[in-house]
Structure 1
Amino acid sequence: MFSLPNNATIIEVGPRDGLQNEGKLVSTENKLEFITALQNAGIQEMELTSFVSPKWVPQMADAKEIVAQTKKVGRQFVLTPNERGVTAALESGATSLAVFVGVSNTFNKKNINKTTAESMAALQPLIYDLKKQGIFVRACISTAFYCPFEGAVAPEATLSLCRQFVEWGVDELSVADTIGMATPKESYALFTQLVEAFPNVLMTAHFHDTRRMALANITAALQAGVTRFDSSAGGLGGCPFAPGATGNVATEDVVNMLHQMAIHTGIDLDLLCKAIEKIEPHVSNPVTTGMYTLYKNKG
């Protein structure tokens, strides 16, 4: 019998990653209702918003208001793609920042018009400065398994990129299967190496459900020693720079699976589904995830 932990942590990314590329503009009020409902369900760590140019991501134009008006519960991340974003986030009062980079050069160029090396060179001084200020820094590693343009990504390349971030003092690594192509075997292999290589850094797995393998990949990561998982309520979200990628793995399905395996999350599944009910009328497509569908049919 494989070994499993007693507890796991869910990092809810719906308010940012889930809504960032939503076609319908979601009001600040509706976002705040969604966030509050997620907090009421027991979510202790959440990605709230992103400090990016409203010209490129109009959905995140209210980032300052979201940070200011969200009840301070647990750890709340904001995504900051560059120095301007970092400055704006700090001015808003954010204390936990996330930066991101793709292992794949092609993906990184299409995402932020920089090579991976150029992105890392720009991030290094920012991270040093943030750590001097006592800010929690999360490094999000995109295309850790596969790239939509370059194909399979060598595990050594992902490990090397993560090692740089660890040497710079980041607190957490969020390692993503950005296009949902990883297999459980690959998930177990990579996360086993990462957990062994970086035992003093919070290790988080981020899976997309393109081929309906996210739950299997999470189970494999659990066996590798990972106890932190990014997920999005309702399975909302996706990556505009990754052709063919579907949404993030659904928080409600992850929580249900973990609870069925006697792994505690501190999240109330019914209240989580109530949170999805609040946001569903304001997004383009109906939510059809497994546990949410059961919840609606039960009612």
Structure 2
Amino acid sequence: MTKLIECPRDAMQGMHEFIPTEIKAEYINLLLKVGFDTIDFGSFVSEKSIPQLKDTAEVLEMLEISPESTKLLAIVANKRGIEEAVKHPQISYLGFPFSVSETFQQRNTNSGIEQSLNTVEELLNLCSKSNKEAVIYLSMGFGNPYGDAWSNEIVEHWAGELAKRGAKILSLSDTTGVSSPEKINYLFPHLVSCFPEIEFGVHLHSNPASWFEKIEASWNSGCRRYDSALRGFGGCPMATDDLTGNIATESLISFLESKGEDPALDMEKWNEAMNYSGRIFR
């Protein structure tokens, strides 16, 4: 079954004007009623790094969730964030950005790749103890703008290191929009064949002209786990100044329907969320 992960956290995190907590919560509550598998709703990271999401814990307490509803995912970047996030029983998934680019790992988490492997081990251990699951993002998975070495073999190597430590969900992430159908067509099915015990997904960034070819390539490669954001907002403020946005959820829904897939979403609630989004994204 295809899993859709809606990412308001990624859409909001780089916005300069602070979004009131009540508005964030109301928007996410609308998204929770649509029927997505998961909502990537917030992060437990340094307020200095991502001031927009400093109220994640407050937003969480205002969300209307139930055991049968869409699951919640929060991003963490270090041990302190992990320890804070696991305190909240409402959260099902903790996401960690593990970059195959040393430069970006330092920029994003203030730690190198090897040190981040230790953080992943702590994350997996605490998730196991707290009845949560870890989602590890292979960020800069298709290349980087820093001149750091990149190859399919490098991505495979780090995926293997994460697998050895017990990672069960890896999301191949196109942090700066440099993926291509050719890269996706090789790398995604290759990783799946190398690590059949792992659930792989994609978190792709794109401009409006190239989203279709990237989603089509990932679909043809067997991907059935997709991150996206309503209206394609967002990007990583820790990556570059010239950002490409997320894949637009409405485009992804249209693509899936063209393939005969029923996303099983409440489109009335989706339209409500679309309309409400104008209060956030202006």
Distance 2:239 2:207 in 1: 11
Aligned match of 1:186: 183
Higher mean Cα deviation, 94-103 or 75-84? 94-103
Aligned match of 1:288: none
- Return the TM-score normalized by structure 2: 0.92
Deviation of 1:17 (Å): 0.8
**Across the two proteins, how many residue pairs are aligned to each other?**
277
Asked if the contact 1:142/1:177 (under 8 Å) is kept, the reply is yes
Query: 1:126 is aligned with what amino acid?
Result: L
Deviation of 1:269 (Å): 4.2
Query: Aligned runs of 1:40-189 on 2, under 5 Å?
Result: 40-72=33-65, 73-93=69-89, 94-150=91-147, 153-189=150-186
Runs of 4+ deviating beyond 3 Å: 268-271
Asked if the contact 2:174/2:205 (under 8 Å) is kept, the reply is yes
1:278 to 258, 276, 279: 276
1:245 to 237, 243, 246: 243
Deviation of 1:132 (Å): 3.9
- Return the TM-score normalized by structure 1: 0.87
Distance 1:211 1:183 in 2: 14
SS of corresponding position for 1:91: coil
Deviation of 1:211 (Å): 6.7
Deviation of 1:106 (Å): 1.3
Could you list the per-position Cα deviations for residues 217-240 of structure 1 after superposition, in whole angstroms to 9, with x for gaps in the alignment? 121111111101000111111112
Deviation of 1:270 (Å): 5.0
Asked if the contact 2:5/2:226 (under 8 Å) is kept, the reply is yes
Asked if the contact 2:169/2:198 (under 8 Å) is kept, the reply is yes
Deviation of 1:113 (Å): 2.5
Aligned match of 2:233: 236
Tell me, yes or no, if structure 1 residue 11 matches structure 2 residue 14.
no
Runs of 5+ in structure 1 lacking a partner? 1-6, 286-299
Deviation of 1:161 (Å): 1.2
Aligned match of 2:252: 254
- Give the fraction of aligned pairs with identical amino acids, expressed as a percent: 27
Measured at CA, do residues 273 and 210 of structure 1 come closer, stay the same or move farther in structure 2, by a change above 3 Å? Answer: same
Runs of 5+ in structure 2 lacking a partner? none
Query: 2:279 is aligned with what amino acid?
Result: P
Aligned match of 2:28: 35
Measured at CA, do residues 114 and 33 of structure 1 come closer, stay the same or move farther in structure 2, by a change above 3 Å? Answer: same
Aligned match of 1:289: none
**RMSD (Å), alpha carbons:** 1.8
Asked if the contact 2:86/2:127 (under 8 Å) is kept, the reply is no
Query: 1:272 is aligned with what amino acid?
Result: W
